[in-house]
Structures are given as C-alpha cells and as structure tokens.
Structure 1
Amino acid sequence: MDADFWHRKWTDNEIAFHEGEANTLLVEYFPHLSVPDGGRVFLPLCGKTRDIAWLLSQGYRVAGAELSETAVRQLFDELDVEPEISTAGDLSHCRADGIDIFVGDIFQLSRAMLGPVDTVYDRAALVALPRSMRAGYTSHLVDITDRAPQLLITFEYDQELMDGPPFSIHDTEVRQHYRDHYQLTRLEQRKVPGGLKGKCAAQESAWLLVP
C-alpha cells in the first residue's frame, strides 16, 4: 500500500472509514488516560475525523498527522477555521488555535517537529497499515511521542473474508508491537454492529497503553 492509494480514496470520496460523529469508545474511555486540562492529544493518520472536534470541545489541544491534503482541507472547513500554513521539513504544517496538523508522510515527522504531547489516540492509523509497515510505524510513534500514554482502537475479523483497510489485528500482535514500552490493558471488546463495512462479523477493541 502506498501514498497513491490514500490520495485516491480521498479524491474519489471513498471514505467509508470516516465516522460522522465522535467515536463512542473515545468518549467512553478517554478519561482513563487522565489527560490534564488543556493537554495535547496526538492523532496519527487523523483524516478529518470528528473526534478532533470533540477533543477541542472538551478543552484539549490537538496535533495530528495526515497524508492527504484534501482530508486536512476538509477538516478545517468543517471546523470553520482558516489555518496558517507553513513548512516543517518535508511536511506542511497547518495551524490554528489549539490545533496543529502535519500534512505528508508521518515517517518524516520528528519528535522536535511534533513537540510535546500528553497522549496518543490511534483509531485509524495502526489498522490502516499492512502488516509489513506496522512494526516500523509503532516504533516511530513511540519515538516521536516519547512513549506518551495511548488509547488504541483495533479490529479483529477473518481477513480472508475482506481486504483491509481496516486490517484485522489480533491481540497478540498488539502486544508484540508495544509490550516493551507499555503496560497494555484491553478495556473493552465488542461486536461491530452489522459487521465491518456490512461485509463480515468483526470485533472492535479499545486498548489502554501506559508506560
């Protein structure tokens, strides 16, 4: 899977993965992270998720990384905010009050560019990547966030019944990627109503990762 895949998805508006409201697992379990008032939350591969609007409404600051310029433009349009745009290395940096989005390849985002974050919310990044990219991604995420606590959302289903993304990620793989850096707790595992994309039965899990 390459960058062109995601650019085509956004250009063709094939964004069934986009939720119109804040994710219910985020709303329910974000308090477990004990983020301070006004704390900064990093969302890798954030798209234009409504989770950002929810986090801002709760008084948190948001940082995100997203490959698609189209997605970021739509995000700020839906927030009714005009961002300031500058260059950060090979990335574009779109900034407004309480929000920083870095546009481009997340692997080009450094810890210095990102700045300090209090927590990570990964609903759409790990599950979006094929197996060959996940180890590199998780290692990079741990590095640029300085092992910040994390709320991670994953899916489990029969991968032979449907191609990803989102990809099926078993609990053993989650532990393989993160056990050297975090204590892992699965907060909840539940059935996806109607199946994943309406195609196959699936379970959705919320994980708490604490250094």
Structure 2
Amino acid sequence: MDRDFWLEKWRINQIGFHEGTPNSLLTAHFAALRLKPGSRVFVPLCGKTRDLSWLRAQGFSVVGIDLSRKAIEQFFDEENISSVIAQCGRLERFDAGTVTLFAGDFFDLDAETLGPVAAIYDRAALIALPPPIRDRYAAHLVALTHAAPQLLVTLEYGQALQSGPPFSVPESDVHALYDTTYRLHEAKRRDVPGGLKGRCPAQEVAWLLAP
C-alpha cells in the first residue's frame, strides 16, 4: 500500500473504512487506560474518524495524523471547527486547541513535533499496513510516544480469503510487535456482523497495552 493508494481512496470518496459513529470498543474500553482529565491522546492514521470527537467529549485533548489532507479538512468542516494551519517541515499542522491534526506521512512525524502524549488509540493504523511495514510502524510509534499506553483494535480473519486492507493482524503478530515494550491484555474479542465486507468471517479484537 503506497501513499497514492490511500490518497486515491480519499479523492474518489471510497472510504468504506470510515465509521460514521464512535467505535464501540473505544467507548467500552478506553477508560481502562485510566487517564487524567485533559490528557493528550494520539490517534495515528486518523482520517476523519468520529472517535476524535468522542475522545474530546470525554475531556481529552486529541492529536492525530493522516496522509490525506482532504480527510483532515473534512473532519474540521463536518465538526464545524475552525483551525489554524501551519507548515511543520514536510507536514501541515491544523490546530484548534483541544484537537490538533497533522496532514502528511506518519514516518515524517517526530517526537518534538508531536509533543507529549499520555496514550495512543489505534483502530485504523496497524490494520491498514501490510506485514512488511508493521515492524517499522510499531517501532516508530513507540519512539514517538515514549511507549505511551495504548488501546489497539485489530481484525482477525483468513487473509487467504480476502486481500487487505484492512489486513488481518493475528494475536501472534501483536505479541511479536509489542511484547518487548508492553504488557498485553486482550480486553474483548467479538465477531464482525456479516463478516469482513460480507465475504468472510472476521473478529475485531481490543487490546490494552501497558508499559
């Protein structure tokens, strides 16, 4: 999956991966991270997810990044929020107080530009990446956030039955990526109603990752 693949998805509005309501695994399990009010939460590959607004409504500050500038613009338009735009190296920063979104490549984001975060919420990032990129992604995420605790949502299904994205990320892969940094706890596993894209059985899994 190269950058042109995702930019084209947004250009033609082929965004079936976008959920129109906050993810129920987020709303059920995010409190387990036990963050203080006002804590800053990082959402990688955020798109225009409604999860950002849900996190803000719980009293958190949110910071996200997405390759698509169009996705970032649509988030602020749909939420009726004004932002101040500034260039940050190869990234654009859209700042609106309790929500800051970067447009650009995740791997161009550094810890200084991101700033301190208390937690990570990853529902759409890891499952969007094919296996060859996941090691690099996980290592960069840990370095960016100084191994902040994380709520991670993955999908599991027979990869041979359906090509990604979203990709299947089995339990063994989650452990291989994060065991050296975090203590992992499987918080919830549930069937995806109707299967993945209606083509094969799938499960959505919520993981809590604690340093």
Does TM, scored on the shorter chain, surpass 0.5?
Answer: yes
User: What band does the TM-score fall into relative to the shorter chain?
Assistant: over 0.9
Q: Which residue of 2 aligns with 1:165?
A: 165
Displacement of 1:49 in angstroms is: 0.2
Displacement of 1:160 in angstroms is: 1.3
Q: Which residue of 2 aligns with 1:118?
A: 118
Question: SS at the partner of 1:204?
Answer: strand
- Residue deviations 1:72-119 (CA, integer Å, cap 9, x gap): 000001110121000111100000020111110010100000000000
Taking the aligned partners of 1:168 and 1:187, their CA distance within structure 2 comes to: 18
Taking the aligned partners of 1:97 and 1:147, their CA distance within structure 2 comes to: 24
Taking the aligned partners of 1:58 and 1:189, their CA distance within structure 2 comes to: 24
Question: SS at the partner of 2:159?
Answer: coil
| Paired letter, 1:204 | E
Matched, 1:16 2:16: yes
Query: Unaligned regions of 5+ residues in structure 1, if any?
Result: none
Taking the aligned partners of 1:197 and 1:97, their CA distance within structure 2 comes to: 37
Displacement of 1:200 in angstroms is: 1.0
Q: Which residue of 1 aligns with 2:40?
A: 40
Displacement of 1:197 in angstroms is: 1.5
| Paired letter, 1:126 | L
The percentage of aligned residue pairs carrying the same residue is 51
Question: SS at the partner of 1:21?
Answer: coil
- Residue deviations 1:102-137 (CA, integer Å, cap 9, x gap): 110010100000000000000000000011100000
Stretches of 4+ aligned residues off by more than 3 angstroms:
none
TM-score normalised to structure 2 length? 0.99
| Paired letter, 1:164 | G
CA RMSD of aligned residues (A): 0.6
TM-score normalised to structure 1 length? 0.99
Question: SS at the partner of 2:31?
Answer: helix
Taking the aligned partners of 1:196 and 1:70, their CA distance within structure 2 comes to: 26
Taking the aligned partners of 1:4 and 1:206, their CA distance within structure 2 comes to: 29
Please list, as runs of the form range in 1=range in 2, the aligned pairs for 1:42-121 lying within 5 A after superposition: 42-121=42-121
Query: Unaligned regions of 5+ residues in structure 2, if any?
Result: none
Taking the aligned partners of 1:198 and 1:51, their CA distance within structure 2 comes to: 24
| Paired letter, 2:94 | C
Question: SS at the partner of 1:25?
Answer: helix
Displacement of 1:19 in angstroms is: 0.3
Taking the aligned partners of 1:161 and 1:12, their CA distance within structure 2 comes to: 26
| Paired letter, 2:206 | A
